[in-house]
């Protein structure tokens, strides 16, 4: 069996971390989350990084985290929603991996994130408009990168994780 990484991409609130952890458990693989990895390395949370270094500082740290995490084998990696923006990151993500896009409507993203305080990009007057803009800009990139797409609206994380794990096993990834 190959030792590719399974990488989850998709917008904020698509369930990458929750589903990623469940898929990793099912497949007996290590799970990593690039945002948590950045927080562990810096010792501060994502909002603090945005406050001090701005989005550009965060994006640099994100690229550095992806450089390290994509060197792994046989893991499951949940990425940040904006990690697909830099072409450098896209190359890293595509290296030794099978990429799964968790496709989620803006309504569902809103439902899951409406009280969220940990996403600096959503601390605005109109988070729905922000999510719409981000998704229309990023969806074509997610689609282009994806080896497999799963719609996550109104689905239980456990059920989706079971489906994804089964798919991965069938593909011998
Ligand atoms: C971001 C998504 C976040 C996090 C940061 C920026 C984005 O990750 O990386 O707040 O640009 O969409 P999640 O997708 O895990 O929420």
CB atoms within 10 A of CB 58: 22
> What would the pLDDT profile of 112-155 be if each residue is shown by its tens digit?
998 899 999 999 999 999 999 999 999 999 999 999 999 998 77
Distance CA 15, CA 157 (A): 7
Residue ID of nearest Cα to ligand 1 atom 16: 12
User: DSSP code of 81?
Assistant: T
Distance CA 114, CA 106 (A): 11
Residues shown for the chain: 173
> What would the pLDDT profile of 23-44 be if each residue is shown by its tens digit?
999 999 999 999 999 999 999 9
CA 79 / ligand 1 centre spacing (Å): 8
Q: What are phi and psi of 33, to 5 degrees?
A: -130, 120
CA 162 / ligand 1 centre spacing (Å): 24
Contact 33 CB / ligand 1 (< 6 Å): no
Ligand 1 atom nearest residue 11's Cα: 14
Q: Which of 137, 159, 121 is nearest to 15 (CA)?
A: 159
pLDDT at 2: 60
What predicted TM-score, i.e. pTM, was given to this entire model? 0.97
- Whether the CB-CB separation of 173 and 2 falls below 8 Å is answered with yes
CA 89 / ligand 1 centre spacing (Å): 14
CB atoms within 10 A of CB 123: 13
CA 170 / ligand 1 centre spacing (Å): 30
């Amino acid at each position: 069996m190959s030792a590719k990484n399974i990488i989850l991409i998709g917008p904020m609130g698509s369930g990458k971390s929750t589903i990623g952890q469940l898929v990793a458990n099912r497949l007996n693989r290590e799970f990593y989350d690039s945002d948590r990895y950045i927080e562990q390395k810096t010792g501060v949370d994502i909002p603090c990084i945005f406050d001090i270094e701005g989005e550009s500082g965060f994006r640099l740290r994100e690229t550095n985290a992806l450089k390290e995490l994509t060197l792994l084998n046989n893991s499951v990696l949940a990425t940040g929603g904006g990690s697909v923006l830099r072409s450098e990151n896209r190359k890293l993500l595509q290296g030794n991996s099978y990429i799964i896009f968790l496709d989620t409507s803006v309504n569902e993203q809103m439902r899951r994130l409406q009280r969220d305080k940990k996403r600096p990009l959503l601390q605005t007057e109109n988070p729905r408009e922000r999510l719409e803009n981000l998704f229309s800009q990023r969806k074509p990139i997610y689609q282009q990168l994806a080896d497999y797409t799963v719609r996550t609206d109104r689905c239980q994380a456990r059920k989706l994780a079971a489906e994804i794990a089964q798919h991965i096993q069938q593909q011998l990834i």
